[in-house]
Each structure stands twice: as C-alpha cells, then as structure tokens.
Amino acid sequence: MTATFLQFCTVVQKIRETRGSNAKIGLFADYLSALETADELNLAAQFIGEGAFSELSGKRASVGSRTSGLAAAEFCEIDYDRVFKPCRTATGSSSETIERLMEHIPAAIKKRSPANLRLDDIQEIAVNLYSASGRDQKKEILHNVWQKMAPIEIKYFIRILGQGSLRIGFETRSVVASIAKAFGRDREAVRYAHMITGSLGKTAVLARENRLDEARFTLFTPLSFMLASPIESRAVENLAQYVAEEKFDGMRAQLHVEGDTIKIFSRDLNDITNSFPDIVEFFSQRELPATVFDGEICVYKDDTILPFQLLQKRMGIKKPGKKVLFQYPVLFIAYDLLYASGKPIFNLKLTERRILLEDLAGTYNIPISSQNSLQNEDDVDTLFNRALEHGNEGLVLKLKESVYEYGQRKKSWLKVKKPGGSFDTIMMYAHAGSGKRGGTYSDFTLGISVKDDERYEEEFIPIGKAYGGYSDDELKRMNSLIKEITVERYGPTLGLLPKLVIEIEFDEVQVNKRTKAGYTLRFPRFRAIRWDLGPDDVDTLSDVEEYYRQSIEKKRLPQHQNPSFIFE
C-alpha cells in the first residue's frame, strides 16, 4: 500500500474548496482511479463517505469533541477552558480549531514531524481507539498519532473518527457518482450495488473490478431505506400516476424473516429485534419463506393506532417486561416487499411488488397498508383528512412505476404531512453556531412562561432548542439585537434578557421527565420572529400541557371503517 493519508486529505480539502458538484466528483474520481490496490480503494471510499469504520460494522472510535479538544489543548500546551474553547467558538468547528492551533502554536509544531501515514495506518489507529477504554487512553493514542501528522491530516482524521459526512459538501450520492466515473461504470449500477452491499468501499472495489453484478443481497443484512420527499418542494403533474398510503404514526422498520428467524432494523440500520419480542413472535408463528418487508411499527390497541409518544416508551428498551408489552402492544404493518421467492425484487415496479405483497399477506395473514388510487386533488384531501382522523401523520404518495431505491428519490415518494403545532416562546439563550454557521449565534434555547405557575420560581423555563427556519437576513437582525440584550456569557452561550419572541413550530409535544418543563418538542423550528410581541405574550407551560393532553386524548378513528391497513 502506497497511498498516503496526506494525499487523501489534500484531495478532500480540494473538494471542499471547489464549487459545483461535477467538478467535485471529477476530483474524487481522478483520485480513486489512480489508487493502486483494492484495499486502498476500499478505505478511501469508506473514509470519505462513512468514516473510520464501515457503517455496517456498527463500530465507532468514540472520540468525542471534548476528548479531542482536551487532547489537542494538552498537545499544544494551552489552557483548554481559557484558550481552546474561545477559539472553537470563533471557528464553530472543533476539528478546524485543532488544525489551526497545530499549525500555529510553537509547542505543537515542535512535536510534530509528519511520517507519511498510509490509509491502512489510519484504520489501524481507529481500531486502537475503538478498543481503548477511557479518555486518558484515547488521549494518549491521539497524542502519539498527531506527532506523525500534518495539521490538515489531524483535521480530517478527527472528522473521520466522528463517522458520517466529512462536511465538505460531498455526500453519499456524489461518492457513488465518483466511483462510477472513476471506473467508467453506469451510475445506477453503482448505486444499486451500494444499496445492496451497504458499503461504499466494497462498491468501489466491485466497480473497479467490473464485478458490480456480483453485489448480492444477503438476508438479515439491512438495506438502506427509501425515503419520501416533502410534497411542497415538488410539483406533481399527474396524480393518477400515484397511489396513496397513510403515513403511519409509528416507527419505520425493515423486517427480515425466514422461518422462525427474524431480524428487525431501524431506519439508521440498527438491529432493534430485541426491543420487539411481540413482533418476533407474531412472525415466527407464520413460518414465512425468506422475505424482507419495509413497514412501520405502531402501537395498536382496541382497533386503534395509538400515538407515537406511546411507542417511545418501548423504543430503547432492550428487553421489555410483560407490563410494557401488555400496555403498549405493537404491530408491524408492511407496506413494501424487497425480497421474496429467493430473490431481491426492489427493481420491480411498485405495482408489481404490491401484487406480491398482497399475495403474501393473504397467505400468511400479515397486516399491510391500504393503498388508494388517486384521480385529483380532492381525493388527496379526502384521504389526508381520513389519515388524520386515524391519528396518522398524513399521506405518502407513491409513484406506481417507481422501483425501490435508497434515499430520497425526487418524485418517487412524496409525503403530505399535517402542519405542526405552534407556540409563542421567548428566546432565553443564544448559542454559537457550528459548521457553516460558525461565527454567528444561530442556535437558540426557547422558553415558555411560568411566572404565574406556583411550581416554579423562574419567569421562563426552556422548552426546546431551534436552529433553523429563519432567513440569513433574519439571522443577522437577530444577532444584532442579541448583542444588545446579552446579560451573561457562558463560553459559547449567551444568556439573554427576555425580549425576543419566537413563534416556534413543531411536530409533536413529548413527555420528557429529564427536562425542567417535563416536555420537549419534536422537530422544533422557527415559524416567525414576532417582532410585534413581547415577553407577556409568551405561551405558558399550561398551554403546553393542554396541547399534549389533547393530542394524546384526541379521539382516534378506529380501524373498522376505511382502515389505514388491512389485517384479518
């Protein structure tokens, strides 16, 4: 192996500095095609798209930003709280801060002498970090490695350890395109192989060796999920090309089954089988041939789909007890079929997959979503309202001709969601942004009023944190006001006078006992900055409690009429 990590980082930095996705793809394609060995190719594709470990491995180096920050401060011989933290606040990025300190601070310069580490060295170090226990051991490994690295290597090494995107404006779809371009393969063929193998590294090697058709689906290994795009961003020309299904108020899951072996995977491809013994039992009784379903886990009781908030009580419990199983019984409702009769079928059209799904469901008695044909907007409205009556989130419109592909695919699946609720809140704290919002205050803790509430001594308590939904101009305007109303500073966080009222939108109110309010909001975001309102107009904790009570107790239409899924 001759490919150095420094070369890799140089290309990555070049991609970061290049605008236009074709130019970026070209740069990485050139790099990939020049690599000598399959191992190098495997690692390069994995590092840029997945991290130090392949996504499938489920491993992580577990080096948090505090660990790397403390290690860097020690390495540079600077004070963590008094020097490192203000620098990180200014850049908005821990890894960028470390890179620049490594380049500037004399003590760090003295210690470093780049040793041309290779890609496989990097992987070995990541494995060492994975096996190391405790911050001190990890810091020691980091110190040893950094001595052999240039600042740019240190920056990207830290990002790679974090798993996921390197934040260089180069996402999975671009990596896939680069692989196709590097080896002159069809982009869709590369995509397909990636979806099956779940590994960019393996996909790159198969592409180079012209063995993409060998990418084989294996049962009990999760496939990446197909996702729906919001309908607002897409113009739909012909509704008749779509069918509609209700968007269940539950949790997306993929179920692999063969006989009495069952595995369930969550959307982030984690194995969640143990949390749902009732689903395992349900399917093992049915003695299915090798099959993979895509569907939704919902709490289902008395003929009714119950709120997602109740399902939450079962998520994360590794071994649910009898009481929980009894209180919150769940059902897996299938809406797609990815593998049947011994072969993957995701390249079949939706209508064809649906026929197979209906056959299977009929034979083995499995709940499947109801599908409705559409003619016009009125149909969408009727079905949408009915979905809401069932307590579901809205609709998913699916293009009849579409194949099953991972990620958001333009207009293949479209979601029609109910608008969220809203509260008028007070801005309590402003937090320095990170990444592309580095250098501004872009994240905000928002509070509700408790001044007339005997349970609290404060005037306002936090209800959620929002960091989106405003325009660049609004952000600027808020930042200049924030300067004037700052009363306290806690490192990157500013404590503010209660002046600025934010109308906040959210999907749900959830119970969360660990917070002061006892509630949190799901997907909070700005709806409007209410320059016209003052602190006295802010909604109260009682308003939040009332909203929660109504959403839980809201009558949900039982399933015996116009059901959202078909069962028995």
Query: Which one of 76-84, 146-154, 294-302, 423-431 is the stretch in contact with another protein (CB under 8 A)?
Result: 76-84
Query: Which one of 11-19, 365-373, 400-408, 558-566 is the stretch in contact with another protein (CB under 8 A)?
Result: 11-19
Closest CB 46 distance from another protein, rounded Å: 24
Which of 42, 46, 54, 97 touches another protein by CB under 8 A? 97
318: contact with another protein by CB under 8 A = no
Q: Which is nearer to another protein, 95 or 273 (CB)?
A: 95
Residues 132-191 that bind another protein (CB under 8 A): 169
Closest CB 479 distance from another protein, rounded Å: 11
96: contact with another protein by CB under 8 A = yes
Which of 111, 409, 437, 451 touches another protein by CB under 8 A? 437
DSSP-based three-state secondary structure for 246? strand
Q: Which is nearer to another protein, 83 or 227 (CB)?
A: 83
Which of 6, 105, 430, 461 touches another protein by CB under 8 A? 105
Q: Which is nearer to another protein, 98 or 207 (CB)?
A: 98
Query: Which one of 83-91, 280-288, 407-415, 519-527 is the stretch in contact with another protein (CB under 8 A)?
Result: 83-91
Selection from 428, 436, 427, 396 nearest residue 412 by Cα: 396
Which of 83, 219, 356, 497 touches another protein by CB under 8 A? 83
104: contact with another protein by CB under 8 A = yes
Selection from 54, 551, 81 nearest residue 308 by Cα: 551
Which of 60, 100, 349, 451 touches another protein by CB under 8 A? 100
The helix (H) or strand (E) run that includes residue 493 is strand 493-496
Tokens of 315: 């998520």
Which of 86, 184, 362, 558 touches another protein by CB under 8 A? 86
485: contact with another protein by CB under 8 A = no
* Tally: H helices and E strands in the chain: 20, 24
Return phi, psi of residue 244, to 5°.
Answer: -115, 140
Closest CB 117 distance from another protein, rounded Å: 23
Pairing of strands 407-408, 226-227: parallel
435: contact with another protein by CB under 8 A = yes
Helices (H), ranges, 147-288: 151-161, 172-182, 187-197, 200-208, 277-284
Q: CA-CA-CA-CA torsion for 185, 186, 189, 191, nearest 10 degrees? A: 90
8 A C-beta contact, residue 412 and residue 400: no
Compute the distance between CA of residue 533 and CA of residue 368 in angstroms, rounded to an integer: 48
8 A C-beta contact, residue 253 and residue 298: no
Which of 82, 110, 322, 560 touches another protein by CB under 8 A? 82
Tokens of 38: 């399959």
93: contact with another protein by CB under 8 A = yes
State how far the alpha carbon of 259 is from the alpha carbons of 217, 332, 361, 365, 474, in Å.
18, 17, 15, 15, 57
CA count, 13 A, side-chain hemisphere, 174: 21
Closest CB 472 distance from another protein, rounded Å: 8
Site size toward another protein (CB under 8 A) is 28
Q: Which is nearer to another protein, 100 or 148 (CB)?
A: 100
101: contact with another protein by CB under 8 A = yes
**β strands within 498-548, DSSP E:** 501-506, 508-511, 519-522, 525-530
For the four alpha carbons of 132, 268, 353 and 568, in that order, the dihedral sign comes to positive
Which of 66, 216, 234, 436 touches another protein by CB under 8 A? 436
Query: Which one of 126-134, 438-446, 447-455, 544-552 is the stretch in contact with another protein (CB under 8 A)?
Result: 438-446
Which of 79, 209, 281, 359 touches another protein by CB under 8 A? 79
Strand order through the sheet with 372-373: 229-230, 413-417, 394-399, 242-247, 372-373
Closest CB 210 distance from another protein, rounded Å: 35
Tokens of 511: 């119970």
Query: Which one of 74-82, 197-205, 346-354, 417-425 is the stretch in contact with another protein (CB under 8 A)?
Result: 74-82
Selection from 59, 51, 58, 46 nearest residue 130 by Cα: 59
Closest CB 93 distance from another protein, rounded Å: 7
DSSP-based three-state secondary structure for 144? helix
Query: Which one of 111-119, 429-437, 524-532, 548-556 is the stretch in contact with another protein (CB under 8 A)?
Result: 429-437
8 A C-beta contact, residue 56 and residue 221: yes
DSSP-based three-state secondary structure for 446? strand
Q: What is the DSSP letter of 498?
A: T
Which of 51, 92, 344, 492 touches another protein by CB under 8 A? 92
Contacts with another protein, residue ranges (CB under 8 A): 16-17, 19, 78-79, 82-83, 86-87, 90-93, 96-97, 100-101, 103-105, 169, 433, 435-440
